Structure 1
Amino acid sequence: MSYHSKTIKQAVKDIESEKTFLPAIQRKFVWPRHKIEYLFDSLMRNFPIGSFLFWELKSEKAYDYVFYNFLRKYDERKPNNERKTGSFLNPEIIGVLDGQQRLSSMYLGLQGTHRERLKYHRSLQDYAYPETALYLNLLTLPYYINNEGDIDIEREIDFEFRFLTQEEAKHIKSKNNEGIWNKSFWFKVGDVLRWSDDPEIDEIFEALKLACVHENQTNAFNKKKRLIKKGLRDLHKRICEEELINYFKVTKDDLDDILKIFIRVNSGGTILSKTDLLFSTIVATWEDGRDEIEAFLKDLNSKGDGFWFNNDFLMRSCLVLSDLPVLFKVNSFKSKNVQLVKDNWENIKSALEKTVNLLESFGFSGSVLTSQNSVIVIAYHFMKGGNTSETSKQGIKKYLLHALLKNVYGGQGDQVITSFRNALREEVVDKENKESSKEKTYQLKQSTFPFDVFLDLKLPANKTLKITEEDIEEFLNYRKSANSFFVLALLYPHLRFNQVHFHQDHIHPHSRFSDAKLRDVGIPEDKWQHWQSLKDTIPNLQLMEGRENSSKNATQFKDWFEGSFDGNKNVNDPVKFREDNFIPSTSLEFSNFETFYTERKVLITSELMKVLNLKKKQEQEQEISNLSES
């Protein structure tokens, strides 16, 4: 990798001559107009604009990859770059890996046009999206003549770059205000590219002055002659003379290597990932693919209380559900595999929708789903025709809660997904030839979700779904969070989350644990910190219907338990409530919190052991002893 530089003019020329393109590692152009204007202000002030990363490769090799043309006519209604089609005209081409937004902005400002919706306009017609180009106001340049007679620059005043229509650049809207003419003269910035290498600034100044349309404008031009000539000279220097495009040049052929280099050297802007590369590659040959995928993600994320699924999740899902290698590599999305994903797209969508609907019924949302990878295995079950029986649903729920509580996807997600997928599927064999088909296809080993099989799997890094007595002890110390929800979900398996909204409720209210409240009920000061450390953990938490939780709020638990709201008892059946929520028979007074906490912890531990079909160590040891005696 070597370091080079070139002028902005040369960079623009390379784009115009179809030598420089945007590779599949690219996003939509997202910079708003004001950001482009600030970039040109930075150029005029000679501020650093960051380095670039250019990928240089032979044109015959470039045909293996997807490239896009730079936008010359930006339109907010259709902001996507067009894919490069046809032959490459140069023996070598350049792909811009880092600096795409900046270089696109320079190109638009110097050679392009920009359409953005006018404020307060809702129409999609052209009149609401006027075509504009970049101009510089020569009568408001932030230069001044200092005490020594030299030209200096005001730090607090910007160069007035602005995107304007041709009409706006020629005329002043305030027709009756003659004083405004001496404040505006708009010079089209791209005209600087047509000047000679050593322009006659005096001649250019005089030619521009002839374009003045009002006496006040001409007078202002003459008065600011020295400052205007300075501005024109500086603009030419920055665009055409000084080599401000500083770039690293890489010549690797393997796009995986290119991406690694990119991630290492990128220090600013929006960092691109392999997901961005794969997403761009998959939609490059899929008409309306980008809109289709983005609309589907939006739909998935709008379900229930909302999810946070992203392109990373969707790209990995496409790989897994299409029986492709799970590991993220560029080769995973060669044209053959892209076509496979496109062919499977409707089935992939259906499997993911079915999965997320099930998650919603389990009470999950983006705020508690701590691993999106865990969802993909469930979708694979549905993709291959797995059933939705009650047994499967309970198995899926157990798998999900175990996987999240044991954090099995942390660190080696791809390998863990592969292990689970292999446990789900088997290769389809041609029964006549008793051989695998040339193109491998897979089917489920069983139609019911195999939680018990998963439970016995040895996962990468010696991980397992199995929960132990020691794990339960650790779980009960979880503070109110996504993890505490997982534990409570095991304790409340029959709640209808898809019908009723449930909250994690503090049984003894959070507000009762302040120093002042603890003092009021006579708790010794040396116990305050201990009580406060327990208040947010699972033995003081329960799942409660949102409406009930709102009515309970900061009311003392004993008062709420025995009281009523809007004429209705809060607890109609105290015995059943205690059983359902593992409330011990001890006093519910707040002053008895420590005893309540200890006894409820025992009840919860016992229930979790039962739900998870675990035996206490003493029972296991006794069974072993009995076996050895017999």
Structure 2
Amino acid sequence: MSYQKTTIKKVIEDIDQNKIYLPALQRKFVWNKRQIELLFDSLMRNYPFGTFLFWRLHRKKAENYVFYEFLKEYDERNPYNRRKTGAFLHEEIVGVLDGQQRLSSMYIGLMGTHAEKARYKRVSNPNAYEKMCLYLNLLSLPYEIDEEDNIKINEEQNFEFRFLTEEGARSSVTRKVTGENGTFSEEIPMFWMKVGKVLSWRNEPEFDRIVDDFQKQCRTEAQKEAILQNKRFIKRALDTLHRRMHRDELINYFEVARDDLEDILKIFVRVNSGGTVLSKTDLLFSTIVATWDNGREQIEKLLKKINEKGDGFSFGNEYLMRCCLVLSDGPVVYKVNSFKSENVEKIRNEWPQIAAAIEKTVDLLAEFGFNGSVLSSQNATIIIAYFLYKGGSINKESKEGIQKYLIHALLNGIYGSQQDQLITELRKAFREEVKNDTNGIAYRGRYRDFSFEDVLEIKLPQQKSLAVTEDDIERFLHYKKGLGAFLVLSLLYPQLRYNEVIFHQDHIHPATGFNEEKYREMKIPQDQWQDWYDLRDCVPNLQLMSGRQNSTKNATPFKEWFMQMDESDRTAFSKNNYLPDDVDLDFENFIVFFKQRKEKLRLELRKVLKVQALTAGQLAVLTDWDGHNDEIDEQEYATSGGFSE
């Protein structure tokens, strides 16, 4: 079948009359207001509009699949399309496979509203999300007269389309213009016409009458005068807008008529291989929820809920889909064949329990002080969710074991590659086979408690290991302020209530003191300056401190700040923060302080991580440090797989 053409008005009317839908193969609406405004500017300029791909099918076939209605009233707080329920009203319906964002934008611009949070207003403010319609400023048209008295478009200026509230459009009657020197120059009148009005105009509108009506609506004499002076330009703009909507067949579409969703998926992948490409996750997710009633809504609801926990996370559909596969004892590999109908049915039936396990997992992450910027591998948490899903307890011992596993996994970067194999082996160790009621195989949890010692015994693929060596501890102690340092510090400060208080990585000796002027004042030899600077951000000069306490400490010299406490508070602070005994806390003594605190931290990490102590000779070799930091920084860590998914 060849390409066909139709008008924007016809398509918009079909959408509004429930003849055109979005199939489950769709993304959320993602265009912002500015993109919609520029789309209409392009239409006025007759720029290429792109092609569309429509899927036509009989309503009896359509009832086997999941479709969504177009958004008419977009709200940033709930940007999801509503699922089509009930019987279809027409014998045939059309699903939009390619061009969803463009058609959604036109529908909102011509017949709907758009609500985003206003700048400088709190989310809790009910007036922060005002419904806005699309308007065109008829007194700021990019037209000019050429030498032959013809109207032409000034390519340097846009048609001023803008989303405004009804009151905003009515009250925005002038705009202040400044001169070249930045001082006030003049006020220019504005007149905003709601763009959607064009759909109600006849095939041959009387533009003179329409412009006269606009004059009657003016609130100021300046507006009336400007409309009169610019009547020729205004009539041209109205004629162009009307022609683009009513007469020009700008919707150039190809129509397919297939009943098999697999065929449609293949076509969908092919036509979306250019431009803004839908990811594998988008396509798999859409395919899954196509056979799962309310699946999209339930998954997106859970995503919103877990991402708002603690200090915020950034989980996505892929994470939840991987969790679904693993927790339901399905295939671990994330591909289409893993989501066969029987697997999706099992996920659907077990969804409440799966969702509860995932939510409990994220609660633990927040309790441990993790957030979206610190959790460097989301997949490291899947086995935790599996343990909880299979009935594992969340007692004190399990929490300690889970936290140790997670920190070891992230510090050692074991999820940098071969993740499917890794998750498979871990799941195998955490479950055992049992006979079910039909004499088939089912799985139950092997462990009641999450013991890190048991996890250490699991043989992982590709010689991966959760074990930590003395070399690792030395490396950890030279991590600089950032993700890796937080993981190390969280091992050293297990008593902190991360889910209740925001903690900062604070420089014990303030970072502001590490400067040339201070070095000279303390008579530090110049050849040692770099050594001091290299040590400044390392773990032995870092502590976890509440944001409020850190703001009081700020750049105050550490000894001065420390001595402001009474003796009992100093004793407790020294113990909780591993301060070395009998060491002068003056900044001049920083190197001695650093080395001695480093050894206290080493002893604690060795105990926490269950690393055997080295001999005195081995330790001397390990700590014969030349002042140059060979820590894996965040960028290198990511490259090595430590922060990758």
Residues 305, 213 of structure 1: CA spacing in aligned structure 2 closer, same or farther, 3 A cutoff? Answer: closer
2:464 aligns with 463
Secondary structure (helix, strand or coil) at the match of 1:21 reads strand
- Contiguous gaps of at least 5 residues in structure 2: 174-187, 619-645
Residues 264, 83 of structure 1: CA spacing in aligned structure 2 closer, same or farther, 3 A cutoff? Answer: same
- Is 1:598 the counterpart of 2:595? The answer is yes
Residues 104, 534 of structure 1: CA spacing in aligned structure 2 closer, same or farther, 3 A cutoff? Answer: same
Residues 54, 515 of structure 1: CA spacing in aligned structure 2 closer, same or farther, 3 A cutoff? Answer: farther
8 A contact 1:484–1:538 mirrored in 2: yes
- Is 1:145 the counterpart of 2:152? The answer is no
What letter matches 2:275 in structure 1?
Answer: N
Post-superposition offset of 1:243: 6.1
1:266 aligns with 275
- Contiguous gaps of at least 5 residues in structure 1: 175-179, 196-200, 622-630
Post-superposition offset of 1:44: 0.4
Secondary structure (helix, strand or coil) at the match of 1:447 reads coil
Post-superposition offset of 1:447: 1.4
CA distance in 1, matches of 2:553, 2:355: 41
What letter matches 2:198 in structure 1?
Answer: V
Post-superposition offset of 1:285: 4.8
Q: Deviations over 1:5-43 (max 9, x none)?
A: 876467557757977532223344465667544422221
Q: Deviations over 1:289-345 (max 9, x none)?
A: 666555544443444444444444334333332333333334555665455434333
Match 1:583 to one of 576, 580, 584: 580
CA distance in 2, matches of 1:559, 1:540: 16
Post-superposition offset of 1:611: 2.9
1:67 aligns with 67
Residues 2, 504 of structure 1: CA spacing in aligned structure 2 closer, same or farther, 3 A cutoff? Answer: farther
What letter matches 1:267 in structure 2?
Answer: T
Match 2:381 to one of 371, 375, 384: 375
8 A contact 1:578–1:584 mirrored in 2: no
CA distance in 2, matches of 1:182, 1:286: 49
Residues 53, 144 of structure 1: CA spacing in aligned structure 2 closer, same or farther, 3 A cutoff? Answer: closer
8 A contact 2:509–2:557 mirrored in 1: yes
2:26 aligns with 26
CA distance in 1, matches of 2:556, 2:190: 70
Secondary structure (helix, strand or coil) at the match of 1:442 reads strand
**TM-score, scaled relative to structure 1:** 0.74
Secondary structure (helix, strand or coil) at the match of 2:611 reads coil
Q: Structure 1 stretch 474-483 or stretch 587-596: which is displaced more?
A: 587-596
CA distance in 2, matches of 1:511, 1:182: 52
What letter matches 2:423 in structure 1?
Answer: I
Residues 85, 285 of structure 1: CA spacing in aligned structure 2 closer, same or farther, 3 A cutoff? Answer: farther
1:627 aligns with none
Post-superposition offset of 1:162: 7.1
CA distance in 2, matches of 1:184, 1:587: 72
What letter matches 1:394 in structure 2?
Answer: E
Secondary structure (helix, strand or coil) at the match of 1:253 reads helix
CA distance in 1, matches of 2:469, 2:88: 63
Secondary structure (helix, strand or coil) at the match of 2:334 reads coil
Residues 616, 135 of structure 1: CA spacing in aligned structure 2 closer, same or farther, 3 A cutoff? Answer: closer
Secondary structure (helix, strand or coil) at the match of 1:465 reads coil
Q: Structure 1 stretch 608-617 or stretch 521-530: which is displaced more?
A: 608-617
8 A contact 2:414–2:464 mirrored in 1: yes
Q: Deviations over 1:503-524 (max 9, x none)?
A: 4332322222111111111111
Post-superposition offset of 1:385: 0.7
Post-superposition offset of 1:253: 3.5
Residues 224, 591 of structure 1: CA spacing in aligned structure 2 closer, same or farther, 3 A cutoff? Answer: closer
- Is 1:100 the counterpart of 2:92? The answer is no
Residues 364, 75 of structure 1: CA spacing in aligned structure 2 closer, same or farther, 3 A cutoff? Answer: closer
Secondary structure (helix, strand or coil) at the match of 2:570 reads coil
Secondary structure (helix, strand or coil) at the match of 2:102 reads helix
2:414 aligns with 408
Post-superposition offset of 1:468: 2.5
Residues 85, 472 of structure 1: CA spacing in aligned structure 2 closer, same or farther, 3 A cutoff? Answer: same
Post-superposition offset of 1:552: 4.1
8 A contact 1:58–1:92 mirrored in 2: yes
CA distance in 1, matches of 2:530, 2:327: 50
Q: Deviations over 1:370-405 (max 9, x none)?
A: 222222221211111112333322221211111111
Secondary structure (helix, strand or coil) at the match of 1:467 reads coil
CA distance in 1, matches of 2:478, 2:527: 21
What letter matches 2:608 in structure 1?
Answer: V
Q: Deviations over 1:221-261 (max 9, x none)?
A: 99767545543553355446666556799999356655654
CA distance in 2, matches of 1:579, 1:406: 26
8 A contact 1:139–1:185 mirrored in 2: no
1:278 aligns with 285
**Correspondence list, 1:463-502, <5 A:** 463-495=464-496, 497=498, 502=503
1:520 aligns with 521
Aligned length: 588
8 A contact 2:135–2:193 mirrored in 1: no
Post-superposition offset of 1:186: 7.0
CA distance in 2, matches of 1:587, 1:218: 80
- Is 1:531 the counterpart of 2:537? The answer is no
Post-superposition offset of 1:420: 1.8
What letter matches 2:453 in structure 1?
Answer: D
8 A contact 1:24–1:277 mirrored in 2: no
Post-superposition offset of 1:477: 2.0
2:40 aligns with 40
Residues 223, 590 of structure 1: CA spacing in aligned structure 2 closer, same or farther, 3 A cutoff? Answer: closer
- Is 1:348 the counterpart of 2:347? The answer is no
8 A contact 1:263–1:273 mirrored in 2: no
Post-superposition offset of 1:480: 0.9
1:626 aligns with none
What letter matches 1:146 in structure 2?
Answer: D
1:625 aligns with none
Secondary structure (helix, strand or coil) at the match of 1:313 reads helix
CA distance in 2, matches of 1:616, 1:234: 81
- Is 1:190 the counterpart of 2:199? The answer is yes
Post-superposition offset of 1:603: 3.9
Secondary structure (helix, strand or coil) at the match of 2:96 reads strand
CA distance in 1, matches of 2:264, 2:447: 39
Q: Deviations over 1:39-78 (max 9, x none)?
A: 22221023455x4563657769866643324346778998
Q: Structure 1 stretch 504-513 or stretch 550-559: which is displaced more?
A: 550-559
2:557 aligns with 556
Match 1:253 to one of 250, 255, 262: 262
8 A contact 1:144–1:153 mirrored in 2: yes
Secondary structure (helix, strand or coil) at the match of 2:432 reads strand
8 A contact 2:136–2:160 mirrored in 1: yes
Match 2:400 to one of 384, 394, 397: 394
Secondary structure (helix, strand or coil) at the match of 2:276 reads coil
RMSD (Å) for aligned C-alpha atoms: 5.1
Secondary structure (helix, strand or coil) at the match of 1:428 reads strand
Post-superposition offset of 1:525: 1.3
CA distance in 2, matches of 1:281, 1:346: 17
CA distance in 1, matches of 2:164, 2:299: 35
Secondary structure (helix, strand or coil) at the match of 1:581 reads coil
Post-superposition offset of 1:486: 1.4
What letter matches 1:278 in structure 2?
Answer: F
CA distance in 1, matches of 2:166, 2:400: 66
What letter matches 2:537 in structure 1?
Answer: D
Residues 322, 219 of structure 1: CA spacing in aligned structure 2 closer, same or farther, 3 A cutoff? Answer: same
8 A contact 1:53–1:262 mirrored in 2: no
Secondary structure (helix, strand or coil) at the match of 2:404 reads helix
2:625 aligns with none
CA distance in 2, matches of 1:259, 1:82: 20
Secondary structure (helix, strand or coil) at the match of 2:262 reads coil
What letter matches 2:449 in structure 1?
Answer: T
8 A contact 1:256–1:329 mirrored in 2: no
Percentage identity across aligned positions? 45
1:313 aligns with 319
**Correspondence list, 1:588-627, <5 A:** 588-615=585-612
What letter matches 2:285 in structure 1?
Answer: L
Post-superposition offset of 1:161: 5.4
Q: Deviations over 1:341-365 (max 9, x none)?
A: 3433332343233333333333333
CA distance in 1, matches of 2:56, 2:72: 24
Residues 569, 147 of structure 1: CA spacing in aligned structure 2 closer, same or farther, 3 A cutoff? Answer: farther
